Chains A and B, each alone.
Chain A
């Protein structure tokens, strides 16, 4: 007997920084769990002319080993290279005919198939997405083509100073933990990955109970749910138990210099931070905003405006289900590299030793919440946010709860998390062998 879908309609709350005074009411989000376990989320927004869909699987480099590094991303790219009904080119042409795109990529904690289209083509977009997810053929000749491209992308990444320095500091921070390598993988592993490894990853990841489908845009939500149920019911439910490697992240906590011909030196100072689900995650994000979020943050004012050391400087953070990062960075003239390291470490020390003022806390919260609100305004971003936070188990409405957690952060919280997490810097400096090219 067919179960009638239980549809839960929940209205989103706009973030605290942007009270919903003048805007149209926030669109409702529909959540449905299909009989096979696939969670479907739909956000209907009549104010736009487009639709975006994001199909996420709980996969990614977190589930890889050094030998299989990059297999998730490789698989994702291959899924667009042919299905039972379309060649790679025919898939691309079909998506472009809808006024959109189909894309695929592997990330750290997930893998994504995503598509966009003019709103009236939402149903055809879902048909294409389902076909790619359920009926990929992983053609052998296309595997070698994709391998060459991925190796080329790894080379391009190594060619650019900031990505290269970033990959180095992340590797040093995470040690043997799978977060240590980029989602693209490692050259050594990508060279050796074969079709069997891709198929194995596909079988483990493409199970309905490890996936979330989110659709956002100008779409009729009840019809979208019905169409999704019909299209994705063939996804198998039972999941082979995907085991995450039980490796601890072990930061090297030292300083490494990479010599590379460049006009600018890159200085990155990394620390491990709590996972996105941890109670300390919100205070750490506020702390990052105090020191390196926006043009009135401490690093921007001190290192750029007052000392003229940089054009770009700030703190990068990540939202991982495992250990995240807190990463102050600065790009500076090679002759200033040592001064920049000292200046960044001094800013970190100030966080631990000096009391943070209430007005700095207030600005940092506003900046952070503004960022969150600004980032969630296109259909594609809405679809991603809904799918990601549902997938990792925090629930699709996590951003609203995160906003409340940020709002509750105190100066004492900041001091506490600074003391707890900012203790062992891992430093990477990329600089030319000679002072300048």
Chain B
């Protein structure tokens, strides 16, 4: 839903960062924050609780193992649409009530949809943890999906599409995914299409809701200044009473063979946006940590190779960065840059030259050390707040496992320069990649 911040969680996965929990590199460790504990309710719903007394806030999150990849081709946009509708009223709470209740105590609520999952979050003063959990359990299965509200919300979602189309970075990323995962659900637009959204009916949405919002797909995460026993008891008396439905989710399909496409699209403005992408590993693949570090060395910091070469040395771009997206079923390594349209060809050649250089000569020990330190630090910064910790835990429980998440920084630490060079050679073929440029309309002609 992302009702306040106008950034659809459509792109949540782009920012996928490698959080982990419980592992600290610091020789001046933070005062003991209790480790997260994982409980399983009688109906199978996992509940993860962590006491975090940094501030008097509790982050409550419902993670649902249902996202855009669970839609059939006639259902595009349903997971996201449902996310818009869930807080708009339940059988016991009319629309608007929940927003007023949460904001009336200074809290926040929002939600996001990815291909692999959807999640709903409420951040509240810690003393409100019990009503907060009750509310989440209520929307999880009792949303009314009112027909009149549903019709009106179509205009809101169409505005969200327009907003996203006008944002060149978002448009570039979306289209690049479409190229990279052509023919796979990951290549579809999470938000759907205007035609499908206009044609959406309450029956279709209700059917998706009943099929996917069941104990088998739920995970609950609570992080904050709370009493874990009280949280667990409340979870058991709310979420724990929902009947199982015997639903089994299909695993994410592997992507079809990659077919490189190169494309220019006109986009208003004076500058161009360039994106190159390579197929990479799925989340649980053994090469993922090395690829993560490779992306870091290529373009995640001021000292990284692409920034130094394209921005600082040659002055070709205003900005350039590299990122790794690792989903349940597939992944991609992407390089994006903003630049004057006249520099497009040289910038692309220079990015490929840097790719060849890392394939041929590998990375230095100093670069590897900085990238590992950055990964360790990223975790520390991400988990400063209760909701930062909750997101890392919820994502792990939903698309991975808590154990994998906890072990991730250790896996990162054990990566060698030889392994980084090996994954560069294995995955970054300078002859086979997706390329997309958003160019000013005149340059596109």
Task: Answer whether A21 and B127 are a contact pair too, CB < 8 Å, given A294-B99, A305-B152.
Answer: yes
Q: Is A286 an interface residue (CB 8 A)?
A: no
Q: Scan residues 279-332 of chain A and give those whose CB is less than 8 A from a CB of chain B.
A: 294-296, 300-301, 304-312, 314, 331-332
Give the shortest distance, in Å, between B386 (CB) and chain A (any CB): 8
Q: How many residues on chain B are close to A (CB under 8 Å)? A: 81
Q: Which of A19, A92, A153, A218 contacts B127 (CB 8 A)?
A: A19
Q: Using C-beta atoms within 8 Å of the partner chain, give the interface range for chain A.
A: 35 or more
Closest to A150 in B: B318
- Give Cα distance in the complex from A118 to B441, angstroms: 46
Is the CB–CB distance between A366 and B385 below 8 Å?
Answer: no
In the complex, the answer to whether A367 meets B106 with C-beta atoms within 8 Å is yes
Query: A404 contacts the other chain (Cβ, under 8 Å)?
Result: no
Q: Does A199 contact B (CB under 8 A)?
A: no
Interface string of B117-138 (1 = CB under 8 A from A): 0000001011100000000000
Q: Give the shortest distance, in Å, between A132 (CB) and chain B (any CB).
A: 13
Contact check, A156 vs B271: say whether CB atoms are below 8 A apart: yes
> Within 8 Å of chain A (Cβ to Cβ): is B56?
yes
Interface residue stretch chosen among A226-234, A250-258, A349-357, A372-380: A372-380
Query: Binary interface profile of A, 92-117, with partner B (CB < 8 Å = 1, else 0)?
Result: 11011111110000000000000011
Chain B 426-445: CB-based contact to A (< 8 A → 1; otherwise 0):
00000000000000010000
- Interface residue? A145 (CB, 8 A): yes
Interface string of B22-44 (1 = CB under 8 A from A): 00111111110100000000000
**B404: Cβ under 8 A from any A Cβ:** no
Q: Is the CB–CB distance between A310 and B159 below 8 Å?
A: yes
A390 located at the interface, meaning its Cβ lies under 8 Å from any Cβ of chain B in the complex: no
- Min CB distance A28 to B, Å, is 15
Q: How far is the CA of A312 from the CA of B376 in the complex (A)?
A: 35
A148-B56 contact in complex given A92-B303, A119-B26, A378-B381, C-beta closer than 8 Å? no
Residues of chain B within 8 A of A333, CB atoms compared: 155, 158-159, 162
Q: Tell me how far the C-beta of B219 lies from the nearest C-beta in chain A, rounded to whole angstroms.
A: 24
Is B399 an interface residue, CB under 8 A from the partner?
no
Is A239 close to B, CB under 8 A? no
Point out the residue from A21, A92, A367, A377 that lies within 8 Å of B385, measured CB to CB: A377
In the complex, what distance in Å separates the CA atom of A276 from the CA atom of B434?
Answer: 50
Return chain A residues, CB-CB under 8 Å to B255: none
Task: Indicate if the CB atoms of B100 and A116 lie closer than 8 Å.
Answer: no
Contact mask for chain A residues 80-101; partner B; CB cutoff 8 A; 1 contact, 0 none: 0000000011001101111111
What distance in Å separates the Cβ of B9 from its nearest Cβ neighbour in chain A? 13
A22 touches which one: B126, B271, B340 (CB < 8 A)? B126
The reply on A395 being an interface residue by CB < 8 A is: no
Given contacts A96-B373, A160-B168, contact A332 B4 (CB under 8 A): no
CA distance A373 to B55 in the complex (A): 9
**Does B268 sit at the interface, judged by CB under 8 A?**
yes
Chain B residues contacting A17 (CB-CB under 8 Å) are: 105-106, 125
Binding stretch for chain A, among B204-212, B307-315, B349-357, B415-423: B307-315
- In the complex, whether B403 has a CB less than 8 A from a CB of chain A is no
Does B104 count as interface, using CB distance less than 8 angstroms? yes
A5 at the interface (CB under 8 A from B): no
- Residues 252-299 (chain B) with a chain A CB within 8 angstroms: 268-271
Point out the residues of chain B lying under 8 angstroms from A50, CB to CB: 377, 380-381, 384
Q: A222 to B297, alpha carbons, bound, how many Å?
A: 37
A245 part of interface (Cβ distance < 8 Å):
no
Residue B96, interface by CB 8 Å: yes
Residues from chain B with a CB closer than 8 A to the CB of A117 are 377
Residues of B within 8 A of A49 (CB): 24, 26, 28-30, 380
Collect the chain B residues with CB atoms within 8 Å of residue A19's CB.
56, 125, 127
Q: Which of A22, A119, A264, A312 contacts B56 (CB 8 A)?
A: A22
A149 and B271 CA atoms in complex are apart in Å by 12
| B370 pairs with A97, CB closer than 8 A | yes
Closest-by-CB residue of B relative to A52 is: B381
Check: A339 CB closer than 8 A to any chain B CB: no
A244 within 8 A of B: no
How many whole Å from A388's CB to the nearest CB in chain B?
A: 19
Complex Cα distance, B104 from A45, in Å, reads 29
Find the A residue at minimum CB distance from B441.
Answer: A261
Q: Does B348 contact A (CB under 8 A)?
A: no
Check A161–B166 contact: CB distance below 8 A: yes
Q: Report the Cα distance A14→B315, complex, angstroms.
A: 47
A47-B30 in contact given A118-B25, A311-B6 (Cβ < 8 Å): yes
A-B contact pairs, 12 of them (CB 8 A): A22-B53, A22-B126, A23-B57, A47-B52, A97-B370, A119-B28, A159-B270, A262-B166, A262-B268, A305-B95, A332-B159, A371-B106
Q: Residues of B with Cβ closer than 8 Å to A?
A: 3-4, 6, 24-31, 33, 52-57, 88, 95-96, 99-100, 103-109, 123, 125-127, 152-163, 165-168, 224-226, 268-271, 301-303, 308, 311-312, 315, 317-318, 338-340, 366, 369-370, 373-374, 376-377, 380-381, 384-385, 441
